[in-house]
Structure 1
Amino acid sequence: MSSFSSNAILAKARSMYSHRLTEQNYEELLKRRSINDLVAYLKSETAYSDILSDIKEINIHRGQLENLLNKEIFLRLNRLMRYASKKELEFYRLGVTELEIQLILTKARLIVSDYYTGYEIEVPDYLNKYASFDLYGLLAVNDYDSLLVLLRGTKYYDAFLKYKPDDDKPLDSNLLELELKHIYYKEYVDTVNKLFKGKNVKIY
């Protein structure tokens, strides 16, 4: 990475870090007893105020809030990606993988659970152009077999095939989520080991 690129990313990251949620913020969030109260606090007391500015607390549900918070995470990531060299973009794209996993896991749960009836995922326009597969294809998926067809050829396919539900074995979404996290963390470690050497390597 060039000196200019490195300094620009460092300055931007420090600015973002200064607006992170603090321990006090988390303590206050734990006191909120509804999504409405939680959104009101995030809008008035945190750096999420801009992304939530057009939202009416009384109308928002959990899925909408998660989508907006994910969008804010991606927008922050995208600000860093603007300054990254071509080589370093591989590291920042790990954030895209994390958001992909959230979307396809949510879709799988929608397919198999009556609890989610009437609620559909929202595919973010900002994310699709960076994704490893056609995220809009998720909107046309109505059953698990169709989901497998969409994911064929991706790094997620084997995990979803492994936990495919049938009449005698319902989907264990918790184990599937764990498997997807293993995929993410393996990619994370492999990417860090590939891009960074010596004292620059520190994996949490």
Structure 2
Amino acid sequence: MSNTAIVGKVHAMYAHRLKQNDWDALISCSSVAEVAAYLKSNTAYHTVLNNDMNDHDVHRGNLENLLHEKLLQEIIRLSRYDLDMGEDTAEYLMEDLEIDQILHAVIRINSHQTASMVPPNPYLNSRAHFDQHAIDAASTYDQLLDALQHTRYYKLMQPFRTADGGMENYTGLENALLADLYTQLYYIIDNETHGKEREILHEM
């Protein structure tokens, strides 16, 4: 499948993004329940915010998990749309999934939760750069680093380790991982696309 077809697919998905009026409405919400109700009734997120969800009792963590699920669905759908996509593009999509899982593991560890907040993703099982179950089982930041020792993430995450084996500055850690990911994305755009395709992708 051509890059043009993939760009068309991405553009169609992009059309379902939140618009300015959606952001204005969300900003005016006074609770997580109101945010969930708006997203379910007025946006493409209704596909994961199903009718069984209790809008009044939903918690922030539950809502984030459902929105995370929507992101995974879209990334997996895009990757399946073209099984012969470029190696760099496939690598970017995989690392996007992996970083999301790592960040959820960090949140879980910092919250002293023993169970993984996100169920194992079957798409990652045979493709991930790390042992997915080791990430889910990690109960300390040191254990998480050990599970990532032979990946590119280890060096990015090591500076956020504290002397006692914990971690500090979640926002800084998230920014470091995402900055590395976006650097790869722009490399792909600049080296694997041309002309109008490149222009459209930069605008996105």
TM bin, normalised by shorter chain, reads: 0.7 to 0.9
Alpha carbons 2:156, 2:176 under 8 Å: kept: yes
Pick aligned residue for 1:80 from 69, 75, 78? 78
Alpha carbons 1:160, 1:176 under 8 Å: kept: yes
Match runs of 1:149-188 below 5 Å: 149-167=146-164, 171-188=168-185
> 2:56 corresponds to which letter in structure 1?
I
Distance 2:166 2:118 in 1: 28
- The answer to whether structure 1 residue 117 and structure 2 residue 115 are counterparts is no
- TM-score norm. by structure 1 comes to 0.80
- The answer to whether structure 1 residue 140 and structure 2 residue 137 are counterparts is yes
How many aligned positions are there?
Answer: 198
Shift of 1:164: 1.4
Match runs of 1:61-80 below 5 Å: 61-80=59-78
Shift of 1:92: 5.3
Runs (5+) with no aligned partner, structure 1: none
Shift of 1:185: 1.9
Distance 1:168 1:90 in 2: 34
Shift of 1:127: 4.1
Runs of 4+ in 1 over 6 A off after TM superposition: none
| Identity of matched residues, % | 30
Shift of 1:71: 1.6
Distance 2:83 2:76 in 1: 13
- TM-score norm. by structure 2 comes to 0.80
Distance 1:170 1:151 in 2: 15
Pick aligned residue for 1:195 from 188, 192, 197? 192
SS in 2 for 1:56: coil
Match of 1:56 in 2: 54
SS in 2 for 1:82: helix
Distance 2:84 2:55 in 1: 40
